[in-house]
Copies of this chain bind each other. A is one copy, B any other.
């Protein structure tokens, strides 16, 4: 095979600090307007004013535009959980992780709402979201085990916490744009406490 050196520079290939952000907005605009399946990477790049090569510098494919923030979310939730004083109960630590999630996601209601509408409309994306949530639960479980919780309790508390996160997040997304994600998540956690106390 020959060694291929790419020397062509497209007129629109620019390094701009927020190319990723503009690509994300452009992708969502198109997914909402014409459907996820129907949208190509070329269209997303064109709308964002960059080349397809720039797109692929930031995202592996058009699906990853929707899931690129999940590492950051996991890192913040795990850090919040780890930051809870020693000896606190597992669900208290999980509550802190939910507060961490709200800090990451709570600032952009419009983006979350549009993203959610795209995911709900597409079974493949919905499955991907489930898998990401399962990994998130695994990371919280490990965090609780690291804090000294028995494995079974750590898993139960984490899975219950992720259920609270998913249900609360969807409630927040469906609600008014000034809604406080942290407050909604705490309310959902309280609701779970009430239900299991019966």
Given A91-B196, A152-B167, A160-B192, 11 other A-B contacts at CB below 8 A?
A90-B198, A91-B195, A130-B130, A153-B191, A156-B191, A157-B195, A159-B166, A160-B160, A193-B196, A196-B196, A196-B197
A134 at the interface (CB under 8 A from B): yes
Question: Distance in Å from the Cβ of A175 to the closest Cβ of chain B?
Answer: 12
Question: Distance in Å from the Cβ of A138 to the closest Cβ of chain B?
Answer: 11
Q: For A195, give its contact among B127, B156, B164 (CB under 8 Å).
A: B156
Counting contact residues on chain A (CB < 8 A from B), the size range is 20 to 34
Which A162-197 residues have C-beta < 8 A from chain B? 163-164, 166-167, 171, 188, 191-193, 195-197
Q: Which A residues have a C-beta under 8 Å from some C-beta of B?
A: 89-92, 127, 130-131, 134, 152-153, 155-157, 159-160, 163-164, 166-167, 171, 188, 191-193, 195-198
Task: Identify the closest chain B residue to A197 (Cβ).
Answer: B197
This chain: copies in complex:
2
Question: Distance in Å from the Cβ of A121 to the closest Cβ of chain B?
Answer: 17
A-side interface mostly: helix
Task: Identify the closest chain B residue to A187 (Cβ).
Answer: B152
A-B contact pairs, 25 of them (CB 8 A): A89-B195, A89-B198, A91-B198, A92-B198, A127-B127, A127-B131, A130-B130, A130-B131, A130-B134, A152-B188, A153-B191, A155-B167, A156-B163, A156-B164, A156-B188, A156-B191, A156-B192, A159-B163, A160-B163, A160-B192, A160-B196, A193-B196, A193-B197, A196-B197, A197-B197
Contacts of A130 in B (CB 8 A): 127, 130-131, 134
Task: Identify the closest chain B residue to A158 (Cβ).
Answer: B163
Question: Distance in Å from the Cβ of A157 to the closest Cβ of chain B?
Answer: 5
Contacts of A197 in B (CB 8 A): 193, 196-197
Task: Identify the closest chain B residue to A149 (Cβ).
Answer: B195
Q: For A156, give its contact among B127, B152, B159, B167 (CB under 8 Å).
A: B167
